[in-house]
């Protein structure tokens, strides 16, 4: 029996290991937190300041994705702080009633809060990527209707609806469930979200995730076919040399670059999230007889892969879309110029 499962009257400190008990775990999480803050702040600044060349409607979706990703940084900081101060533990079993109640009272609110903070941006991110697919389908397949009916205001309204949905469902899932589960279920969780009853996980969370993934895949396949069909038609029009055909071709190429960038974002998200989902489906986690290597190595690894998605997207934008690469470069040069000017001013005032 491992050290987490030993029965004791007053749990010793080395048994009540915090969620982040390893220095390596803490260091990696802090690095991810810093990367998420820097990369997404730069993306948000770039999208707010860039008014031309990246698609004014399309950039709203990327802005929403960056907001979702950057919210992971304060979530990680809160989780690290709660773990460090003794409000989040690795799984504990076979405690006497006094010890169980003490740990439960400290851990319950922490698990509910952190689970809610994780769920909202991750769910919003997945739904935003689906909205992008639908948007691109309309933009390429029904361009006239798209220009007329899909306005920036309506896009913003739809994105606000996504956040309202995630906030409402997250509050219901975690606040309600957090006060319904038993003490044993709460303190036997490794990740904060693990306390959810199996029925909610099996019949709500997982089906929603699979529906979103299948919906994303279907929408992007349809959009890809529309891009190919439109490209063939415009290739014929471009041969005429008309100005209108050239403008339409430039718009199509920009849409293709954006589409390629977003498809890579979806693929990366699925790749980084898949190990977490697969592990939780097949491994005997959060059980009394669970092997210790699951707590020590497997769960921290798949968890780290999942949260790494919060900082990689700006790299994909830069690598796969020259419009975004140019926008990033312009903003960075502007920031560097301001820093140099400030340094020169500071040096001059010091000499005076």
* DSSP code of residue 201: I
* DSSP code of residue 190: S
* DSSP code of residue 90: S
- Give the chain's largest Cα–Cα span: 85
Give the gyration radius of the chain's Cα atoms. 24
What is the Cα–Cα distance from 29 to 36, expressed in whole angstroms?
10
Contact present, 75 and 310 (Cβ < 8 Å):
no
**Cα–Cα nearest to 173, from 131, 223, 236, 122:** 122
Q: Residue 18 is encoded by which pair of tokens? A: 């915090």
What is the Cα–Cα distance from 161 to 304, expressed in whole angstroms?
29
- Angle between helical axes of 299-320 and 58-70 (0-180°, round to 10): 150
Q: What is the pLDDT along the chain (352 residues), one digit of tens a residue?
A: 344 443 333 444 446 778 887 888 899 999 999 999 999 999 999 999 987 878 788 899 999 999 999 999 999 999 999 998 889 888 888 888 888 898 899 899 999 999 999 999 999 998 999 898 888 888 888 888 888 889 999 999 999 999 999 999 999 889 988 998 999 989 988 888 888 887 887 788 878 777 877 888 888 888 888 877 877 666 655 556 666 667 677 777 888 888 889 889 988 998 998 898 888 888 888 888 888 888 888 988 999 999 999 999 999 999 999 999 999 999 998 887 776 665 555 555 555 5
**3-326: CATH architecture:** Up-down Bundle (1.20)
Domain ranges of the chain: 3-326
**HSE value, Cβ hemisphere, 13 Å, CA-based, for 127:** 19
CB atoms within 10 A of CB 251: 15
């Amino acid at each position: 029996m491992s050290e987490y499962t030993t029965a004791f009257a007053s749990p010793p400190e080395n048994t009540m290991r915090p969620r982040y008990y390893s220095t390596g775990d803490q260091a990696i999480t802090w690095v991810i937190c810093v990367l998420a803050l820097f990369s997404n702040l730069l993306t948000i600044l770039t999208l707010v300041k860039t008014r031309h060349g990246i698609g004014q409607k399309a950039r709203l979706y990327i802005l929403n994705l960056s907001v979702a990703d950057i919210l992971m940084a304060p979530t990680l900081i809160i989780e690290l702080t709660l773990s460090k101060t003794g409000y989040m533990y690795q799984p504990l079993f076979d405690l006497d009633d006094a010890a169980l109640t003490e740990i439960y009272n400290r851990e319950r609110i922490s698990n509910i809060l952190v689970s809610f903070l994780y769920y909202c941006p991750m769910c919003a991110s997945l739904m935003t990527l689906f909205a992008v697919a639908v948007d691109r389908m309309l933009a390429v397949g029904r361009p006239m209707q798209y220009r007329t009916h899909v306005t920036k205001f309506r896009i913003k309204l739809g994105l606000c609806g996504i956040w309202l949905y995630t906030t409402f469902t997250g509050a219901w899932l975690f606040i309600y469930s957090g006060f319904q589960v038993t003490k044993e279920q709460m303190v036997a969780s490794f990740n904060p979200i693990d306390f959810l009853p199996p029925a909610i996980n099996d019949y709500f969370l997982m089906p929603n995730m699979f529906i979103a993934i299948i919906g994303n895949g279907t929408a992007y396949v349809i959009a890809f076919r529309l891009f190919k069909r439109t490209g063939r038609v415009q290739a014929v029009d471009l041969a005429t040399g008309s100005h209108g055909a050239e403008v339409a071709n430039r718009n199509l190429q920009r849409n293709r670059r954006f589409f390629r960038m977003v498809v890579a974002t979806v693929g990366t998200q699925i790749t980084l999230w898949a190990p977490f989902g697969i592990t939780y489906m097949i491994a005997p986690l959060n059980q009394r007889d669970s092997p210790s290597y699951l707590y020590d190595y497997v769960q921290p690894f798949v968890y780290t892969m999942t949260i790494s998605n919060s900082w990689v997207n700006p790299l994909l934008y830069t690598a796969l879309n020259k419009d975004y690469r140019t926008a990033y470069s312009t903003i960075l040069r502007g920031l560097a110029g301001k820093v140099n000017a400030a340094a020169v001013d500071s040096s001059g005032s010091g000499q005076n």
